């Protein structure tokens, strides 16, 4: 895409933190990992309902309202506000990262990879178009229709789609704008980083080859992976000591 990586074209990394699930250390560590793995200048923006404890290099801004009818739970759809026609006047390319990812390799290519809208392809059902929105890239202000259509058709969207990433992927796919990151860049800890049974009992979890950003979803977050897991409900995991090498300030 024209402008990517060129001087004068601003790069932003955006994350979002709301509620009590994640403390400020998640944002602080995410910033530190991005700083280590992204060369050149960028702005780091956190949309949040509580900026306390977040390091000064991070620009904290309130989460714009979704403007849904009263009484509707917004939690599962909040990321869609990143597609506001005007997100605090920010312009340029934005890479959105969930606060619980672990960056293990260079992020430079995430800003130069061709494509209008890039997202992770769903791990479990690759025959579906749905992306995983833990990591997506877009031009700020370029897709206001994503949010406008959502606000105007919320009742039917909620019946048809389970969450924001399913709606988002479908909407941009219909416009011919949806593309996926190379599969090896954003592996899942759960699916790609735990040794196969029964070797998981003696082999430690690992960083998959060519991983740039390891995604944590389901019941396991970086601190859980670091501690290991012995309970019966989920697969036994030895401590993922590699997490400590990356997930730090």
> What superfamily would CATH give domain 11-180?
Spore Coat Polysaccharide Biosynthesis Protein SpsA; Chain A (3.90.550.10)
Average pLDDT over residues 82-89: 97
Phi, psi values for residue 202, rounded to 5°: -125, -15
Q: What six digits make up the tokens of 124?
A: 């479990």
Q: What is the tens place of the pLDDT at every residue in 67-82?
A: 877 766 666 799 999 9
Helix (H, G, I), strand (E, B) or coil at 243: helix
- Give yes or no for a contact between 13 and 95, defined as CB atoms under 8 angstroms apart: yes
Helix (H, G, I), strand (E, B) or coil at 164: helix
pLDDT of residue 210: 95
Q: Could you tell me the residue ranges of all domains in the chain?
A: 11-180
Q: What is the tens place of the pLDDT at every residue in 145-166?
A: 999 999 999 889 989 998 899 9
Mean pLDDT score of the chain: 91
Instruction: Return the percentage of the chain with pLDDT > 70, whole number.
Output: 94
pLDDT of residue 233: 65
Q: Which single residue is written with the structure tokens 């714009």?
A: 64
Phi, psi values for residue 105, rounded to 5°: -150, 180
Tell me whether strands 93-97 and 11-17 are parallel, antiparallel or unpaired: parallel
With bands split at pLDDT 50, 70 and 90, how would you rate the model's confidence at 104? very high
Among 141, 135, 27, CA closest to 81:
141
- Give yes or no for a contact between 12 and 92, defined as CB atoms under 8 angstroms apart: yes
Residue 232 pLDDT > 80:
no
Q: What six digits make up the tokens of 229?
A: 């897991």
Among 211, 198, 244, 199, CA closest to 225:
244
Report CA dihedral (136, 142, 147, 149) to the nearest 10 degrees: -120
Map 75-99 to HEC letters. HHHHHHHHHCCCCCCCCCEEEEECC
């Amino acid at each position: 895409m024209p402008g990517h990586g060129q001087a004068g074209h601003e790069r932003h990394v955006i994350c979002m933190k709301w509620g009590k699930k994640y403390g400020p250390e998640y944002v602080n560590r995410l910033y530190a990992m991005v700083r280590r793995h992204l060369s050149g200048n960028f702005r780091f923006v956190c949309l949040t309902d509580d900026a306390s404890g977040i390091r000064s290099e991070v620009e904290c801004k309130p989460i714009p309202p979704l403007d849904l009818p009263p009484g509707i739970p917004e939690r599962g759809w909040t990321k869609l506000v990143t597609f506001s026609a005007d997100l605090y006047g920010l312009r340029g390319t934005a890479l959105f990262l969930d606060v619980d990812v672990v960056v293990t390799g260079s992020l430079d290519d995430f800003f130069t990879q061709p494509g209008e809208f890039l997202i992770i392809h769903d791990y479990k059902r690759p025959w579906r178009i749905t992306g995983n929105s833990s990591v997506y890239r877009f031009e700020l202000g370029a897709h206001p229709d994503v949010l406008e259509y959502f606000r105007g058709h919320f009742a039917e969207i909620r019946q048809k789609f389970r969450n924001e990433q399913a709606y988002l992927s479908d909407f941009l796919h219909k416009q011919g704008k949806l593309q996926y990151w190379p599969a090896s860049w954003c592996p899942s800890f759960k699916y790609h980083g735990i040794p196969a049974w029964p070797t998981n009992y003696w082999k430690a979890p690992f960083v998959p080859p060519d991983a740039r950003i390891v995604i944590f979803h389901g019941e396991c977050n970086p601190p859980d992976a670091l501690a290991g897991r012995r309970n019966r409900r989920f697969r036994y995991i030895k401590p993922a000591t590699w997490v400590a090498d990356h997930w730090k300030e």
